[in-house]
Structures are given as C-alpha cells and as structure tokens.
Amino acid sequence: MVSLTATRYGKDNIRLLKVERDPSNPRLQYVYEFTIRVMLEGDYEAAYTIADNGPIVTTDSMKNTTHILAKKNPVSPPELFASILGAHFVNTYDHIHKSFIHIIQHRWTRYEVDGAPHDHSFLRDGAEVRIVDAEVHEDGKIFLSGGISDLLVLKSTGSAFYGYIQDKYTTLPETRDRIMSTSVDATWKYDVFEGVEAVRASVKSLEKGYQSAREITLKTFATDESASVQATLYRMAKQIIADNSQVNQVSYALPNKHYFDIDLSWFEGLKNTGADAEVYAPQSNPNGLITATISRGD
Ligand SMILES: O=c1[nH]c(=O)c2[nH]c(=O)[nH]c2[nH]1
C-alpha cells in the first residue's frame, strides 16, 4: 500500500526575450530576457495513480501560455509578470489550486556610444541575475519574493577576522586586514498581496525593493569595516528591511571566497604576508558558506 503524498509539475527553462518600444520613438527600446519555471499544484492525482491524463494541463501549454501572456502584458517588473502568469493558471483551471512561478532575469545593460546611452544596444555585464518567485493561490493571495544571485564582489581591504575560538583544531591566523569576496545570493519576501491588482498597484515599490536591496548590498559590502561575513551580512539585511516597508524577511547565502597570503620568505627573504601581502592565492575550495534569515519584528 502506498499513497501519493505530494506532487507538483510544470515546465522548466522556458526562455523568452521581450522587446518593448517607446511609443514616441520606436528605436528607443527596452529588452527583458527571462528563464522561467512554471509549476502547478491541484487535483490531477489520477494522472499519477491510474494513468489518466484527463486532468493534465500539458507543460507544453504552460510554455505557450507564458509566451502569449508575455506578448499581452508588461513583463517589467518581473514580480508583476510572475503574478499575472501564476494567476492565469489558478483562474483558468478549476482543479489547479496553486501555481509557483520562478523567473530568472538575465542582465542586458544599455551601453554608451560616443558618451550617450545607445537606444537599442545592450551588453551582458556579468553573470548576476535578478530572481522572482511568485506563489499564487486560487483565493487570489500572492506571495512574492525578489532576489539576486551570482553577484560576484571583492574588496581588497576593510575586512578583518579575529577573536574566534582558538583550540587544538585551530590553525587559521587572525587577521586585521584581509581580502573579502563573495558571490551574493539574496532573497527578500514581501507582505502577502490580495491579488494581481494589488501587485500592479505596488510596481514602484517592487522595483524599488530590487534596486534598494542591490544598492544596500553593494554599498554595505564596500563601506562596512567588516568583522566577519556574518556581521556584514546582518547589516545588509537590517538595512533592506528598514528601507522597504513591504519587505518582512531577508535571507542571504554568502560563500566566503578565500584569497590566502603566499609566504615567499623562502626566496631571498621576500616579504609577502600580513601588511606586506600583495600576491595572493585564490582558493577555489573549500569555501566558507555563511547564511542567515533576518525578519521584521521579534
Ligand atoms: O567571516 C568569516 N566567518 C567565519 O565564520 C570564518 N571562518 C573562517 O575560517 N574564516 C571566516 N571568516
């Protein structure tokens, strides 16, 4: 005897790029490139348990729907498009109770030609992506989170690490000045929205949420005289919550990408450690991984 405990199915890696043209100047254009995952939950157990495909919305139709809704609706901010897409499935099919939309937005940054922003040319300035997750329920409620992933940063000073447990397992030397580098993975959750129109009414604060989280992350990383990745992470998250009234929770996962001093004293007494360090050895593994979730209130 077995029972079907949990299911979800959908289409992953739906790719699309949308071009939006300025109505007064069609050569002034905006581009948005997404990789999207659509997952549905509902009453389609028969498809699993008795091989009855009757209740299946095909994953191919989910891909088609994504393209059609991207044509008929704004795709920016991605939080709104995720909400529109998620609401479509729970509103169109009575037996679908929840949808889960995950959007990865790839960077296309307008670049300058002869000192002026070009109206239709863009560059991929890094692997960093913007992330959106929308969980849409059939009662209309929408749970949104925004995020950043793969934002690779490094500072060459302004980071120390000392005062930690010294026991028989410890070999790490204390440092007042080290390189700090991480690939930022940040997620922030918004208060629940009562439907797509509530999301639409909040597009400014959703866009601001993304810009503010990114700017706070970069500024705090640069300016904090860091005692540890843990302490810098906490300062970032606290500020994002303070700066965004609709954000109630922030999570970070920060790999500590180590760069170690290289002792060159064996060669003619060359000084290259501590305050004399200039040439470092980047470490690919192992790496620290520092995570935390910080919530508004107690
Ligand atoms: O910022 C840090 N936090 C740690 O917990 C840790 N552990 C370690 O070896 N180096 C570091 N750096």
- What string of DSSP letters covers 46-104? HHHHS---TTPPPHHHHHHHHHHHHHHS---SHHHHHHHHHHHHHHH-TTEEEEEEEEE
CA–CA separation, 293 vs 201, rounded Å?
Answer: 27
Residue 196 has pLDDT above 90, yes or no: yes
Q: How far is the CA of 160 from the centre of ligand 1 (A)?
A: 10
Mean pLDDT of the chain: 98
CA–CA separation, 11 vs 241, rounded Å?
Answer: 33
pLDDT score at 298:
80
What atom in ligand 1 is closest to the CA of residue 258? 10
Q: Name the band, by pLDDT with cuts 50, 70 and 90, for residue 126.
A: very high
pLDDT score at 17:
98
Average pLDDT of span 199-208: 98
What atom in ligand 1 is closest to the CA of residue 172? 9
Please check whether residue 104 is in contact with residue 129, taking contact to mean a CB–CB distance below 8 angstroms: yes
Those residues whose C-beta lies under 8 Å from the C-beta of residue 85, and which sit 6 or more positions away, are 36, 38, 65, 66, 69, 99, 101, 134
Give all strands (DSSP E) within the chain, no chain letters. Answer: 9-22, 25-42, 96-106, 109-113, 116-123, 129-137, 142-155, 180-190, 247-256, 259-261, 280-282, 288-295
Angle, vertex CA 209, rays to CA 104 and CA 239, nearest 5:
120
Q: Best of 180, 221, 256 to mutate for ligand 1, by most ligand atoms within 8 A of CB?
A: 256
Instruction: Give per-residue pLDDT as tens, 134-160.
Output: 999 999 999 999 999 999 999 999 999
Q: How far is the CA of 135 from the centre of ligand 1 (A)?
A: 35
Q: How far is the CA of 237 from the centre of ligand 1 (A)?
A: 19
What ipTM score was computed for the predicted complex, to two decimals? 0.99
163: left (phi over 0), alpha (psi -120 to 50) or beta: left
Q: How far is the CA of 187 from the centre of ligand 1 (A)?
A: 22
What does DSSP say about strands 180-190 and 288-295: parallel, antiparallel, or unpaired? Answer: unpaired
pLDDT score at 203:
98
What does DSSP say about strands 142-155 and 259-261: parallel, antiparallel, or unpaired? Answer: unpaired
Please check whether residue 35 is in contact with residue 106, taking contact to mean a CB–CB distance below 8 angstroms: yes
Average pLDDT of span 190-217: 98
Instruction: Give per-residue pLDDT as tens, 58-112.
Output: 999 999 999 999 999 999 999 999 999 999 999 999 999 999 999 999 999 999 9
> Hey, which residues does 136 pair with through a beta bridge?
99, 142
Instruction: Say if ligand 1 is within 6 A of residue 236 CB.
Output: no
Mind telling me the catalytic residues? 11, 59, 258
Instruction: Give per-residue pLDDT as tens, 216-248.
Output: 999 999 999 999 999 999 999 999 999 999 999
Q: Best of 170, 226, 228 to mutate for ligand 1, by most ligand atoms within 8 A of CB?
A: 228
CA–CA separation, 98 vs 40, rounded Å?
Answer: 6
- Six-digit token string for 110: 């307008």
